Amino acid sequence: MHVPVLAEEICYWLQPKPGGIYVDCTLGMGGTSLKIIESAGNNAYILGLDRDPEALAYAEKNLEPYMSQVKLFNGNYSHLVEFVHQAGFERVDGVVFDLGVSSLQLDKPERGFSFASDGPLDMRMNQTQGPTAADLVKVLPERELADVLFECGEERFSRRIARAIVEARKTFALDTTQALVAVIKGAVPHAYRQGRIHCATRTFQALRIRVNQELDILQPALQSAISLLKEGGRVCVIAFHSLEDRIVKHTFRGMAGKDHPAIRILTKRPLLATQQEIERNPRARSAKLRVAQRLAEGALSL
């Protein structure tokens, strides 16, 4: 089973209790939800959301002993309020977000998230919905493509890479991960190709974020999560890169700094994984956890 990141810290800050209602907005294989149930003394109720039908199937299997306490939905957290109400709840005790792509998705070449192996350039978290990364690479104008790489991937050679992609697609289809990697390698300086981070990393991140609209839906989802919390309830968010973490930080600050604040920020700085966890699970290296607590019911309306 995939090892969830910062699961102990999530349980410490979420403070699961018997009879509590918790929403796992990025269920994955269910590891974090399992920890929450066990931490609450096996009496918590979990509402789990995930875009990926394959992830939901794994989670259902892993959570099988507790399925009487679990309700799963195939969908993304932009519809969080609807899913909670559909499950029969008005308010919840806690909400968890573990942002980004999962190991389940990264480790399968046919999903196209990773350039470690060749595969179709897909990158959709739900493979039944929306355009693929190959579709974007095929149709986006050069300037728009460069903007995507810069804004969603912080790629400093975004314009060079976009220009190279537009030229390459005139002669062959960029529909596999390795075809795209080859174009990127040919577009960037030699020193960049030899850098600590693979030269395709930021481009792949940018395309994945754009395909799945990850940054567009994050702030509204955080606001929805806070609106659903009972007084004293908590929201825990794990981000893996600066773009996500910046949105979380600014959303929390905006909702904590008003005349009638809706939340209190419990983590002045993002919490990081311990060295021991990083050694066990290298994915935890870039994880940042922020936590906020809901204040008075009247501070924010649904």
| 3-class state of residue 235 by DSSP | strand
Residuewise pLDDT in 10s, the chain (302 residues) = 567 899 999 999 999 999 999 999 999 999 999 999 999 987 889 999 999 999 999 999 999 999 999 999 999 999 999 999 999 999 999 999 999 888 788 889 999 999 999 999 999 999 999 999 999 999 999 999 999 999 999 999 999 999 999 999 999 999 999 999 999 999 999 999 999 999 999 999 999 999 999 999 999 999 999 999 999 999 999 999 999 999 999 999 999 987 889 999 999 999 999 999 999 988 899 999 999 999 986 555 44
Q: Are 119 and 199 contained in the same domain? A: yes
The per-residue pLDDT for 31 is 93
Looking at the domain assignment, is residue 277 inside a domain?
yes
> How many independent structural domains does the chain possess?
2
Q: Are 267 and 298 in contact (CB under 8 A)?
A: no
Domain end marker among 212, 230, 258: 212
Question: Hunting for tokens 């099988």 — which residue is that?
Answer: 64
The per-residue pLDDT for 302 is 42
CA 262 to the chain's CA centroid: 24
Looking at residue 53, which CATH number applies to its domain? 3.40.50.150
The per-residue pLDDT for 42 is 72
Q: Are 49 and 27 in contact (CB under 8 A)?
A: yes
Looking at the domain assignment, is residue 151 inside a domain?
yes
Q: Are 94 and 221 contained in the same domain? A: yes
Q: Are 189 and 158 contained in the same domain? A: yes
Q: Are 92 and 148 contained in the same domain? A: no
CA 257-258-261 angle, 5° bins: 85
Q: Are 196 and 125 contained in the same domain? A: yes
Distances (CA, A) of 251 to 94, 96, 140, 151, 289: 17, 15, 30, 19, 14
The per-residue pLDDT for 2 is 63
Looking at the domain assignment, is residue 83 inside a domain?
yes
Domain end marker among 160, 181, 212: 212
Looking at residue 138, which CATH number applies to its domain? 1.10.150.170
The per-residue pLDDT for 300 is 57
List pLDDT tens digits, range 217-274: 999 999 999 999 999 999 999 999 999 999 999 999 999 987 889 999 999 999 999 9
Q: Are 150 and 92 contained in the same domain? A: no
- What tokens does 54 get? 């394959």
Q: Are 141 and 272 contained in the same domain? A: no
Q: Which domain holds residue 142?
A: 112-212
Looking at the domain assignment, is residue 1 inside a domain?
no
Looking at the domain assignment, is residue 233 inside a domain?
yes
Is the pTM here over 0.85, yes or no? yes
Q: Are 93 and 219 contained in the same domain? A: yes
The per-residue pLDDT for 301 is 47
